[in-house]
Structure formats: C-alpha cells, structure tokens
Amino acid sequence: MTATTQRFAGKTVMITGAAHGIGAATARRFLAEGACVAAIDREEFGEDFADRPAGRWFSTAGDCTEMETLLEFHSRTVALFGPIDILFNNVGQSGRERAAPFHESIEEVWRFVLEVSLLTAMRMSRLVAPAMRERGGRIINMSSDAAFVGDAGLADYAAAKMGVVGFTRALARELAPHGVTVNAVAPGAIRTRAHDRLTPSVIERIKATTPAGFIAEPEDVAGIVAFLASEEARYVTGQTLLIDGGRWMT
C-alpha cells in the first residue's frame, strides 16, 4: 500500500532490525509519510534504501544485543534528528536452525532468543523513555502470534514473545500519564526471508491453518505499526494486535 499523507512530518522514528522484511517495510512507510527515520540492523542496508532522502534517513550496522551499540545508535539519532517520537522495537528471531523440541533444546539457545526478542526491546525502551516522559511519544513492540498459539518447537520464542506482551502492558501503564502509548504487534505468517527458506509443503500447511488462506506481506504489518504510531491511535495503549489472518482469535 502506498502512503498518501505526511502525518509523520517532523517526527523522529527509530527502528531496530530494519534492513529486511517487516523492519524495512516499516522504515519505508514512515519515510513515505514524512518522518526522519533511524534504522539499525546487524546486516548492511542494501539497494532498497539507495534512494532514501539523505536528510531524513540514517542507518547503521550493529548487533542489537550489545548495549553499547544501542547507546551509540540512540545518541547518534538524537544528534541528527532530535528526541525520539516513535520507537519500533522490531528486532527478534527464533532459534531458527537451532530450534528444537523443548526436551532436546539447550539453554544457550534459550538465552539468545530471550536476548534478541525481549531484552533488546526493554533496553531500547529504557533509552527513549526518559525523554518521552517529558514530551510524549509512541513505542511499538514486536511480539508474535506464536506467543498465543504456542507452536511446538518454539517454546523459547513463545516465552520471549509473551514476555514482550507483559512488558508492553506494564510499560503502557507507567507511561500513559505522560502522553506515551505502548503497544505491540503480533504477526503470524509474513513473507520474509525466513519464510522463503520454508519448503512448499510447510507453506501449504501454514496457509491451511490460516483462515484468511494466504501469507501476508511485510507491508501489511507496516501499515498497522504506522497506525499505532499515529495520532489516530492516541487512545490505544497496552494492546497487542494480532496480524495473522485469523490463526488466533481473541
């Protein structure tokens, strides 16, 4: 979907894990709607961002599980664009090729999954919260419908992503009196590079268990993130919005 408004003109947005997939689509969405966008990812930003407006775009490569990297990312963004108005804590992942049934899983993988999928969101939120308490803002966290469905083989990931839900609710209560909303999005099957590695049979099984019958695009999530970041969602806080074609209904 193409954005046609400039509702984020003058706003500063930070996004973690933004070189590909949902993070990249969201970065493009905010840029299209006039925001200054700062993005970080462990990988370099490719040709998709070659034509981004230089005056409103800052990207850097770094490991989001390292606090020093996050501190530098935050300080450079504030120096370039001013205080943060919108934070999208997008970075996170499952154990991927190291994922296993819980009785075969190892603690090293649990710790990695919790670190990248939960603690990064807590650390980044801690960096922006003091200034947001003074001037308002928006924080959007990345959860997953795996937290609600409880997919087999993803116990660590489901635990981390449900942790994001609890963190979102608690932080929303703390910051609501200061004009800050905190919400989460919980995507289901989204066409990203991770999905590109799945076999056709797995893809068909996912479609069969999704009432909508198809796999969404990253832009479908980006539009919801933009809504939660906008003034249109000023009365929405502490919520987790599932974007999964009806796989989990509440």
What is the overall mean pLDDT for the chain?
92
pLDDT reading at 2 higher than 60: no
Task: Look at residue 96 in the predicted model and tell me its pLDDT.
Answer: 72
Q: Which of 63, 17, 10, 54 is nearest to 225 (CA)?
A: 17
Nearest to 181 by CA among 88, 80, 114: 88
CA distance 107 to 30: 37
Q: Which residue has the tokens 């909508």?
A: 212
From the list 81, 157, 162, 243, the catalytic residue is 157
Amino acid at 222: A
Give the DSSP letter of residue 117. Answer: I
Share of the chain above pLDDT 90, in %: 73
CA distances from 159 to 44, 97, 100, 103, 223 (A): 29, 18, 14, 15, 26
The structure's pTM equals 0.93
Q: What is the predicted pLDDT for the residue at 4? A: 63
pLDDT at residue 111, rounded to an integer: 95
Express each pLDDT in 33-92 by its tens digit. 999 999 999 988 877 787 888 799 999 999 999 999 999 999 999 999 999 999 999 999
Beta bridge partners of 14: 38, 87
pLDDT at 109: 93
* Under 8 Å between Cβ of 110 and 50: no
pLDDT of residue 174: 98
For the sheet containing 180-187, what is the strand order? Answer: 57-61, 36-41, 12-16, 86-89, 137-142, 180-187, 240-243
pLDDT tens digit sequence for 190-222:
887 776 666 777 778 888 888 998 889 999 999
Is 157 part of the annotated catalytic residue set? yes
The band of 99, judged by pLDDT with boundaries at 50, 70 and 90, is confident
Domains and CATH numbers, the chain: 12-243 (3.40.50.720)
Mean pLDDT to the nearest integer, 118-133: 98
Span 215-250, pLDDT tens digits: 899 999 999 999 999 999 999 999 999 999 998 887
